[in-house]
Structure 1
């Protein structure tokens, strides 16, 4: 049976048979010996798509981590899913992360962010056509848990096969959703933003602000939670007569074109908001804080909510920075766009102390398009005031 599986996987990939047959046969043996027979049985489906064939030829090179769903996890999938080769290829690719993280998994509340092999354009819209990321952490009881799922997915066992660290998990991982799904998920306490962004439209067309955020390629949103929006009602009301200030306030909650995950945030790293203001960070015993222009600060109460096109960090306050610097925003835009276009291969966790990548890591922010920045800002904040009243 094992020989048959190996033959099926490699039969139509003659270019890699010679160098990879031994490796992939050994991998199937390891999966079966570890009780991961369902994963081993669906492996042949990778050979049915070009992206799956690339996975098979890539695995023997470098170091990789496989988050391997156990048999019960695969058994929970519908027959429609297991019979869909594209679904299976995308799903398996999201479980494979570049690098070995044996000694590099952060402890809660910090997280580890790794770059996966998932790069299907229908599921991923990150800057520079980068692959999607996965987030996990080590809990207080020592258990490693994958985050951003319907519930934390625990690692129940580990094994090693040559260059591949295999972490057995109790569920099949789901790739990040779009921003709309995040805002309407009550677990994140951002539901007050959803109707506001859905009603605010860009000037001159019917595109809503939520649609504009969702279509951006690579975006970081510092999103005030429900309580923060309610508490800021009087402050926002005082700004209704100042169009420029309202626009700046909105823009200073967004970094567009760059996905800034929490391991990339530290007191020594500054980013430029879409309004051109410096976003600075401090961390103490009570948490991590973001400051816009040095004039307004809020605490990040939940970090790294992964989206198909970026990341959302939840704040406990509104960044009431009404200053803007279009020149700085434009300069940061040009820099980050250039960096994002450089092809990179991540070899470890994202962050200043993680594995290296070939090429430069994007460290800046980019500005929003002027029509988005100004017109959308006015619409959203007037709408916000009306709904909070």
Structure 2
């Protein structure tokens, strides 16, 4: 959840990527075309295997749709190498086998080469990630089957996206136990997980971050105790706790995130410290020797020692769950009543861990007064999305909270976090003035932070705009262009939203335009699409790292300059950022963006 800033790296890497691309004899940047991705591929003899695979997987219609998509396209030679390795033919592969492989080569949105080199990785429409690195002027991708996949040609344009050519077919990663099983140097870890009956837990969706000790690390652990010769000699409870101490639940922390953290909370309920001042060391002495090993349900970092949990403290009274702790605090009685009515007691008394931002009784009183209702009048269906919007997976203590820009709740919607002096405020769907008044109330299954206002989940982008008087012209324009429904879809979307004053200035710029109805419909649709970045939820900390973004108006980018504030296309100022929506994020701008040409 912590996002490193790599603006300078992105600029340097962009130059390297473009230089490397131009060094290839067959590397060209194609002009815009009316052909879609499938048609462009079909017209290139070197993609005949890819086209045959897409046809067999019945993905032609999907990849001929509006998109936009980014496709990393393997050559015929790449397919031939894969089929030889698998000892099969394209005809021998089923639709069910081909579909996850092919969708692992597709990104949502149009991501040109200049954007690719600014990324550390990307999530494919398959759901699994790829990683991206620049080396000696070339760009390489890491997939489930290796890190030597080279991008050989970039920016082949299509009407519904863009194609980059690669020299190897990418295979989606397996789950964490599958990745470990396929790695000979982790065979002892696999044996330990099997003995502790933890394989099934690490096959769950997660995500998990796993620090994986090598066989040599386990050998050193056994040698450290004269009573231990094999894993069978380690007491079951000890082995279980040690293995859980290597697992960070509910987070997929790649290396660029790990180096920004001082510690992480593990499945064992104890923290591992991180020092990235010289390499990466865990708990002071354990080295991270290999990072970012992809898995379908998380990421693995290899380490050279087995991490040992700190010694257990003196026996304490029976630990209380989050619900028990809340019940013991009179100022949280309204929260407890709401949790009971929503039938969430069992969930919040479960293993977790959870982080709960707990509104006080006064906070509930204020919300109920604003809604002109009572707690008794609210149904389970009305309470559940509100209460789950106050819960984050994992035990996130105050020291970690202040290092975050935001977090995703178990409701699925985001909250944002900001630090103002010694105070911490949360932004939710109902405002940015929600103060954290008490922190780190510990429970056996997580931690509670008290807040002074009930957080209400954000609505969809059109609903957020409708509720804001400054966007009445934008709402009217979306309705006339018949784009409201499109922006109610799951997305995610990033929307640059012009104010009423911005639309007034647009109308004043053309003597023929008095109202929105005077703007030709085709023009209005194109202009509005030019304000929408599909397939991504780019908060301000991400926006300032990008030189440009691709919009819903195919082939038309918006440039970004964050050298002094944030300006789009050179003259349009972003005046407010990170307005939350359930299906994306809104940034307010002071001018209507006009597409080139």
1:368 aligned partner = none
Q: Structure 1 residue 222: deviation in Å?
A: 0.7
1:87 aligned partner = 97
SS at match of 2:113: coil
Q: Structure 1 residue 175: deviation in Å?
A: 0.8
Structure 1 window deviating more from structure 2 (158-167 vs 169-178): it is: 158-167
Aligned to 1:57, which of 56, 65, 72? 65
Deviation by residue 1:251-293 (Cα, 9 ceiling, x = unmatched): 22111232222233232465321122334433245x22334xx
SS at match of 1:322: coil
Q: Does 1:219 align with 2:199?
A: no
Cα RMSD between the aligned structures? 4.2
Contact conserved, 1:114 with 1:348, CA < 8 A, in 2? no
Contact conserved, 1:135 with 1:147, CA < 8 A, in 2? yes
Residues 75-224 of structure 1: pairs in structure 2 closer than 5 A = 75-76=80-81, 77=83, 78-79=88-89, 84-99=94-109, 100=111, 102-105=113-116, 112-118=120-126, 131-150=127-146, 152-162=148-158, 164-186=161-183, 189-200=185-196, 208-215=197-204, 217-224=206-213
SS at match of 2:179: helix
Counting strand residues as a fraction of each chain, which structure ranks higher?
A: 2
Contact conserved, 2:123 with 2:130, CA < 8 A, in 1? yes
Whole-Å separation in 2 of the counterparts to 1:95 and 1:194: 29
SS at match of 1:192: helix
Deviation by residue 1:24-78 (Cα, 9 ceiling, x = unmatched): 54651366248323323443345x37xx755543623xxx431100012233433
Residues 242-261 of structure 1: pairs in structure 2 closer than 5 A = 247-261=240-254
CA change 1:244–1:145 in 2 (3 A) is closer
Q: Structure 1 residue 297: deviation in Å?
A: 4.4
Deviation by residue 1:198-219 (Cα, 9 ceiling, x = unmatched): 233xxxxxxx222332235322
Structure 1 window deviating more from structure 2 (28-37 vs 255-264): it is: 28-37
Aligned to 1:339, which of 409, 415, 430? 409
CA change 1:98–1:250 in 2 (3 A) is same
Contact conserved, 1:246 with 1:322, CA < 8 A, in 2? no
Q: Does 1:277 align with 2:270?
A: yes
Q: Structure 1 residue 89: deviation in Å?
A: 2.5
Aligned to 1:316, which of 304, 322, 325? 304
Q: Any stretches of 5+ residues in structure 2 without a counterpart? A: 1-32, 314-318, 323-351, 357-390, 395-407, 413-489, 493-534, 547-577, 585-597
Q: Structure 1 residue 226: deviation in Å?
A: 1.7
Structure 2 length as normaliser, TM-score? 0.43
Whole-Å separation in 2 of the counterparts to 1:161 and 1:136: 21
Higher RCO by CA contacts (8 Å cutoff, separation 6 or greater): 1
Deviation by residue 1:345-364 (Cα, 9 ceiling, x = unmatched): 463999x7577997699xxx
Structure 1 length as normaliser, TM-score? 0.63
Query: In the comparison of the two structures, how many residue pairs are matched?
Result: 306
Q: Structure 1 residue 335: deviation in Å?
A: 1.2
Contact conserved, 1:267 with 1:282, CA < 8 A, in 2? no
Q: Structure 1 residue 238: deviation in Å?
A: 8.7
Contact conserved, 1:176 with 1:306, CA < 8 A, in 2? yes
Whole-Å separation in 2 of the counterparts to 1:139 and 1:358: 38
Q: Which has the larger radius of gyration?
A: 2
CA change 1:359–1:311 in 2 (3 A) is farther
Q: Structure 1 residue 174: deviation in Å?
A: 0.8
Q: Structure 1 residue 79: deviation in Å?
A: 3.3
Whole-Å separation in 1 of the counterparts to 2:205 and 2:134: 32
Contact conserved, 2:155 with 2:163, CA < 8 A, in 1? yes
1:306 aligned partner = 294
Whole-Å separation in 2 of the counterparts to 1:270 and 1:103: 34
Aligned to 1:232, which of 200, 221, 229? 221
Q: Structure 1 residue 318: deviation in Å?
A: 2.0
